[in-house]
Structure 1
Amino acid sequence: MVLRLNIDQIEPATRDWICKVQIVEIGRPRESLDKKCTFQNLILEDEQECQIRAVMYTDEIEQYAATLKLFNTYLISTARVKVSPTSYGKPIHQFYWILDKETVIKQIKPSNEVEKPLPPPTKLTITSFDRIPHLMVDSAAEIDVLVVVLRCGPKKTPVAVIIGVEKLPFVTISKISSSSLYGRISAK
């Protein structure tokens, strides 16, 4: 019999479980330190707002690319559950999940009458672009920004114009590197 459990109830010895989760963060695919494999991290959140890291490796990244979308709700079962390493800092949960070919992932569509999708997460703190300069007291601070790219310049002069979810103001990004973007807020 399959047990419907929340993230906190699932550990490596748990068998025959299913969990309703929402994807609240999708990392970009990265190479391992030893360059032997590519992996991608996801942050999943359940109905109790408990979060866990899930990881996919090379084949699964491509397999699930069209299926796993930010803020969509899924029923996940048979993921491998492992103890989170603490050598890289404090993990968000004592365990993490590996999503592989054996994992069953079923999306819950908004039109589903039996199983409703989870509401948007409440742990997100959304700040409009006009508040960012007030948050930048420490120049080394990092801020995650949800935006839409409107236009990207040619490779020789990398400039991107992006807009926040509130539709104003624009931000012009003048330096684009593989790991970060630097820009200034303009009042266009």
Structure 2
Amino acid sequence: MVLRVNIDQIEPATRDWICKVQIVEIGHPRESLDKKCTFQNLILEDEEECKIKAVMYTDEIEQYADKLKLLNTYFISTARVKVSPTSYGKPIHKFYWILDKETVIEQIKPSNEVEKPLPPPTKLNITSFDRISPLMVDSAAEIDILAIVLRCGPQKNVGRSHHRCREITLCDNQKNQFLFSMGGFRRNKRT
């Protein structure tokens, strides 16, 4: 019998589980540091607003590209559950899921009479601009800001390694402006 559980109830030893989740973040596919594979990170959130990272690798990225969409709700089961590494910073959960060929993913459509899709996430801890600087000491800190984009500069190459970044000017509800640089852009491969 399949056990319906929330994210916090799932561990590597948990068997025959199913979890209702919403995709709240989809990263771009990236190459691993050793350049041996391509991976893509997703952030999933359950009915209790608990979040977990899910990872897909090369074949699954293509397999699920048309199926997995931001803010859609799914039943996921038989994902592989692994312990989150802490060497890259503080993980959002002590475990993460690997979505592979064995994983069963079923979308919950808005027209479903029995199971309704989850509403968009509401759990935000808004950080005001004046509190951002002290938080920059801890590079692993995650913050939520509420702002509008006043200016989005062009992408440019920086440094010898030609990393791509862009400067973005934001404004909060107190009319405070904040300039930050955003990096990690990929060049589109044109065929």
- TM tier, shorter chain? 0.7 to 0.9
Residue number in structure 2 paired with 1:30: 30
CA shift for structure 1 position 143: 8.1
Alignment of 1:39-54 (within 5 A): 39-54=39-54
CA shift for structure 1 position 81: 0.5
**2:122 pairs with 1:122:** yes
Q: Does the Cα contact within 8 Å between 2:25 and 2:42 map onto a contact in 1?
A: yes
Residue number in structure 2 paired with 1:81: 81
Identity of aligned residues (%): 74
Provide the rounded CA distance (Å) in 2 between the counterparts of 1:26 and 1:74.
14
Provide the rounded CA distance (Å) in 1 between the counterparts of 2:122 and 2:155.
32
Q: Does the Cα contact within 8 Å between 2:12 and 2:80 map onto a contact in 1?
A: yes
Residue number in structure 2 paired with 1:171: 151
Deviation per residue, 1:10-59 (Å, 9 max, x gap): 11111111000001111111111111000011110000111110000001
The gaps in structure 1 that reach 5 residues or longer are: 147-163
Provide the rounded CA distance (Å) in 2 between the counterparts of 1:28 and 1:13.
30
CA shift for structure 1 position 80: 0.4
Residue number in structure 1 paired with 2:177: none
CA shift for structure 1 position 111: 1.1
**2:6 pairs with 1:15:** no
Provide the rounded CA distance (Å) in 1 between the counterparts of 2:105 and 2:64.
9
> What's the TM-score, normalizing by structure 1?
0.73
CA shift for structure 1 position 183: 3.7
CA shift for structure 1 position 175: 2.8
The gaps in structure 2 that reach 5 residues or longer are: 137-141, 158-162, 172-191
Provide the rounded CA distance (Å) in 2 between the counterparts of 1:136 and 1:179.
27
Question: What SS is found at the alignment partner of 2:54?
Answer: strand
CA shift for structure 1 position 176: 4.6
Provide the rounded CA distance (Å) in 2 between the counterparts of 1:57 and 1:41.
9
CA shift for structure 1 position 184: 4.2
One-letter identity of the residue aligned with 2:76: I
Q: Does the Cα contact within 8 Å between 1:174 and 1:183 map onto a contact in 2?
A: no
> What's the TM-score, normalizing by structure 2?
0.72
Provide the rounded CA distance (Å) in 1 between the counterparts of 2:132 and 2:97.
37
Q: Does the Cα contact within 8 Å between 2:154 and 2:167 map onto a contact in 1?
A: yes
Structure 1 ranges of 4+ moved more than 4 A: 134-138, 140-146, 176-179
